Amino acid sequence: MPRRAPTSILIAALLALAGRAAAQQADDGGPVIVGERKATWSGVELVRFVPSLDLRWQHQRDKSQVTGQSDQTVTEDRYRELLDLDTEVTIGHKNLIDVVGIFQIGNEDIDRRSSIDGDSGNTNEFVGLWDINALVFGASELPTSIYSRRSEDRQRRPFAGTIDQITTETGISSSYHDDFMALSAEYFHREQEITDDFGDINTNTRQDTFTTNDIFSVAERQKLELNYTLDMIDESQGGGYSDSYTRHDAMLTHTWVFGEEGRPHELRSQARVYQQSGSQDINRMRWDEFLTLRHTDNFETRHDLVYDQADIRGSSRDLVRFQNSAKHKLFDSLTSLGTLGAQRITDDEGFTSDDLFLSGELDYTKRVPLGTLDASVGLGYDAQTNSDRGSTFRVLDESHVYNDGFPIILNRRNIVPGSVEVRPPSNSTPYQEGIDYTVLYYPDHTEIRGVLTGALINGQQVRVTYDVGPESGYDVDTLSTNWALRYTLTEGTFRGLSGYTTYRTTDQSISASDPSLFTPDDTKDLLVGVEYRRAEWLARAEYNMHDSSISPYNVARFLLNYSLQTGTGSAVTAELSHEMIEFTQQNDDVALDRARLEWTTRLDQALSLTLGATYRHEDSSQSGTTDGLEEHLTLTFRKRQTSIYATVSNSNLDGPATKNESQFIEVGLRRAF
């Protein structure tokens, strides 16, 4: 254990005050409560005052080894002693001003030993954390909250070190409602700093935001809704990225429900204006009309009209889209859906892209002997005509899903190298290339691969922005088909057993002055699987053959999952998966094994235990072998006003050119008075 930091005079004084308050308490050690909740005028009244002493020691060691570079090791010991105050104060009475606050004040001694030059030393810092909320006129038609909070969070990344996040936020929110309208508004100022142990991550964000959401009942069965957000943001990331920008995002929506009560029609009109300055420099205006007509109980149609005008980094683009769809339930078990539409895109340099598309789909669900049968079949056709494009254009916020072991495919040719930018769904500070992901550029597509120790999470949605260079005109016709079949047993000995298959095809024909510049996206995707769900168990085995002219692969997947809730506060979850992936175009065979265990149990009324482990093994014929193992254990003891907790975790990742080690120990004691 590192040396103990001295108790501050402030903490000693507050503890003395807490001792005097506790001496007045007549019970057997419960929380100190001074005063009572009153609805009558009472001046300033202390409703709750519960002090606690929080002592904590943390030990963190991270080591990174990269072939051809010097090893980096950072060891850090933190001893923190805090006085926590949980308070509630009313002014006048509870429904006038009610202030609830949690304060943490004290000091922290940090001893840092690092192989990075100039990164070692000992510091002693004052710690001030808080979460305060004042509710004004809480029971009135205009309740208002004034709040301020400062928090710290140490996030552990799988097979990597920790990320420290410090967030300070202050704001005010208010709402008003009556029979005609419901109004709400909020303003806040937020400052956030995110860092890691080695200095690879150093993100700073300052944000001022005003937002309002207003709903008006303008007439019977009609409402008008206004949403507006103003953001003023300064963000930076290390020495390689910085941006300051202002965002205006306003949306006005009118909804009119008409027709019979039991079978209402709906017309929804929506206008949106979006403006953003800074490096993105976006001005956008969009108008949508959505009309839904319910002709009978079994037949409805929908008619959508969209106009979208955007000016992105000095380039203008207009989009007009019209789409009609019809949905019909022939029987309770059979539903048909047909769609017909057209779209035109033009820009300020004379480029045009015309689309004509149609599709049809049948969905069938039927009770059959011992179970249910689900089936669907679909057919689609798209004819697109594109003129010459003489300049680079920006593709903004294209949505993709990151799956561990597979690349994100940008299915466009002529993407400008170095232009790819990946952001989280919130569209906040972008991820870092080389740390969170890598990019491979090919003539007909681009691949984004996540870095195992980076910030991308399996199954996460991301927004991708990139530039596409000039290209000659071309016409492309696309024919797509799909069908799916699933049989699930709901009775008998093997109830919970399902067999399923899906098959999708895409066939493209391209007409251009030089067809060699284009690669048709022809795919045949076959998935065959079997699944068994019974009580706490889930088992699945499937084979996916993805024959594609862009990025073909074959994969066999096996999954076993066990999840059981064993009582209040007790549960066990275990999952084991194995994937054999063949990337045929890259001549790369990958075996990916993953295992996860999480067990939480109450050993008795006072003592609980959490035990977990995560394992990952990847063997690639092109990239080599990577092994990762992470284990963690947490013990928590709670009795009356005393809590003692301890956490130990260890992480190792051994790759072809890198090796990371991380150990974390935390021991803490909390005592309420």
Helix, strand or coil, per DSSP, at residue 21:
helix
With beta carbons less than 8 A apart as the criterion, state whether 548 and 521 touch. yes
Question: What is the DSSP track for 130-149?
Answer: EEEEEEESTTSSS-EEEEEE
- For 444-469, b where at least 16 C-beta lie within 10 A, e where not — what string? bbbbbbbbbbbbbeeeeebbbbbbbe
> Each residue of 153-185: b (16+ CB within 10 Å) or e?
eeebbebbbbbeeeebbebebbbeeeeeebbeb
**Distance between CA atoms of residues 48 and 55, nearest Å:** 23
Task: Find, among 92, 75, 76, 17, the residue nearest to 50 by Cα.
Answer: 17
Distance CA(25)–CA(673), nearest Å, equals: 10
Helix (H) or strand (E) holding 20: helix 9-23
pLDDT at site 583 = 92
End-to-end Cα separation, the chain, in angstroms: 26
How much of the chain exceeds pLDDT 70, in percent?
A: 93
Give the tokens for residue 391.
Answer: 């300049």
Residues 581-608 have a mean pLDDT of 92
What the block records as the tokens of 567 is 């009582």
Most confident of 110-119, 207-216, 389-398: 207-216
The CA distance from 83 to 13, in Å, is 11
pLDDT confidence of residue 68: 84
Q: Would the pLDDT of 486 be above 80?
A: yes
Distance CA 409, CA 398 (A): 11
pLDDT in tens, 234-245: 998 876 788 899
Burial of 79 (0-12, 13-18, 19+ CB in 10 A): buried
> What value does the mean pLDDT of the chain take?
89
Average pLDDT over residues 396-416: 88
The pLDDT of residue 416 is above 80? yes
- Compute the distance between CA of residue 337 and CA of residue 323 in angstroms, rounded to an integer: 13
Task: Give the number of other Cβ atoms within 10 Å of residue 258's Cβ.
Answer: 11
> pLDDT tens digits, residue range 358-401?
999 999 999 998 999 999 999 999 999 999 988 888 888 889 99
Report the range of poorest mean pLDDT among 131-135, 247-251, 454-458, 475-479: 454-458
Alpha-carbon distance of 255 to 273, in angstroms, equals 18
- Cβ-based neighbours of 196, under 8 Å, separated by 6 or more: 161, 162, 163, 164, 202
Distance CA 481, CA 483 (A): 7
Q: What is the dihedral of CA 616, 621, 625, 626, to 10 degrees?
A: -40
Position 387 scores a pLDDT of 93
Whether 36 shows a pLDDT value over 80: the answer reads no
Q: Specify the pLDDT at position 18.
A: 46
pLDDT tens column, 254-270: 999 998 888 899 999 99
Express the helix, strand and coil content of the chain in percent, nearest 5 each: 5, 70, 25
Summarised one tens digit per residue, pLDDT across range 68-84 is: 888 889 999 999 999 99
Instruction: Give the pLDDT score at 429.
Output: 80
Q: Percent of the chain beyond pLDDT 90?
A: 63
d(CA 201, CA 239): 10
Residue 260 sits at φ, ψ, to 5 deg, of: -70, 150
What local confidence, expressed as pLDDT, does residue 471 receive?
84
Sheet holding 393-401, edge to edge: 393-401, 461-468, 421-423
Q: Note the pLDDT of residue 40.
A: 63
| Residue 60 pLDDT greater than 60, yes or no | yes
* Mean pLDDT of the region 291-306: 95
Q: Which residues contact 634 (CB under 8 A, 6 or more apart)?
A: 609, 610, 611, 645, 646, 647, 648
Token pair listed for 152: 């710290």
Q: Which of 409, 394, 212 is nearest to 313 (CA)?
A: 394
Q: Tell me the C-alpha distance between 164 and 199, whole Å.
A: 11
Residues 106 and 12: their CA atoms lie apart, in Å, by 10
pLDDT at 39: 53
Find how far residue 352's CA is from the centre of its chain: 35
Q: In this structure, are residues 649 and 667 in contact, taking their beta carbons and an 8 Å threshold?
A: no
Question: What does pTM read for this prediction?
Answer: 0.83
pLDDT for position 637: 95
Confidence (pLDDT) at 23: 43
Over residues 128-148, mean pLDDT: 93
Q: What does the pLDDT read at residue 1? A: 40
Q: In terms of pLDDT, which residue wins out, 10 or 395?
A: 395
pLDDT value of position 657: 86
Do 22 and 52 meet the contact criterion of CB atoms below 8 Å apart? no
Which whole number is the average pLDDT over 446-459? 86
Looking at residue 25, its pLDDT comes to 41
